[in-house]
């Protein structure tokens, strides 16, 4: 069922994906994958507070889930919580020393973007 939700998510049919991900969380509240998927969707749809609930739970259940750290960093940035975002990005990068995981590589790009933005403002 998660694959079907992911298919809808990747096609941009977020309403159907949300229905599936909500169902997965309801069926198995201890599934880090279900919380991570729902958290990612909520991040994408700018539902920051609810996204944080599911991303935090996904990380509590599986602290090796790189994408949840990156999504949580994105929400933290939106909420002006830069230090928390940097910590999440650092954790995501540390979990991928081989530089192969797409979410960790996104984290690396985000760190570069943050650095460049701060440098342009004369903060660094």
**DSSP state string for 91-113:** HHHHT-TTS--HHHHHHHHHHHH
Residue 24 belongs to domain with CATH number: 1.25.40.10
pLDDT tier at 121, thresholds 50, 70, 90 = confident
Percent of the chain scored above 90 by pLDDT? 90
Question: pLDDT value at position 74?
Answer: 97
17 neighbors 34 (Cβ within 8 angstroms): no
In angstroms, rounded to a whole number, what is the distance separating the alpha carbons of residues 47 and 120? 29
| pLDDT greater than 90 at residue 123 | no
Question: Which pTM was predicted?
Answer: 0.92
The tally of domains found in the chain comes to 1
Residue range 19-77, pLDDT digits in tens: 999 999 999 999 999 999 999 999 999 999 999 999 999 999 999 999 999 999 999 99
Query: Does residue 14 contact residue 8 with C-beta atoms inside 8 Å?
Result: yes
> In which domain, by residue range, is 47 found?
2-120
pLDDT greater than 80 at residue 122: yes
Does pLDDT of 124 surpass 80?
Answer: no
């Amino acid at each position: 069922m998660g694959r079907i939700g992911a298919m809808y998510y990747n096609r941009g049919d977020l309403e159907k994906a949300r229905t599936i991900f909500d169902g997965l969380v309801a069926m198995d509240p201890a599934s880090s994958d279900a919380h991570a998927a729902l958290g990612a969707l909520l991040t994408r749809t700018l539902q920051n507070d609810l996204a944080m609930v599911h991303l935090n739970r996904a990380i509590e259940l599986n602290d090796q889930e790189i994408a949840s750290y990156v999504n949580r960093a994105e929400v933290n940035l939106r909420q002006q919580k830069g230090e928390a975002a940097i910590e999440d990005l650092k954790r995501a990068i540390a979990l991928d020393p081989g530089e192969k995981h797409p979410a960790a590589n996104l984290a690396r790009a985000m760190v570069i973007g943050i650095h460049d933005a701060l440098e342009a403002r004369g903060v660094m």
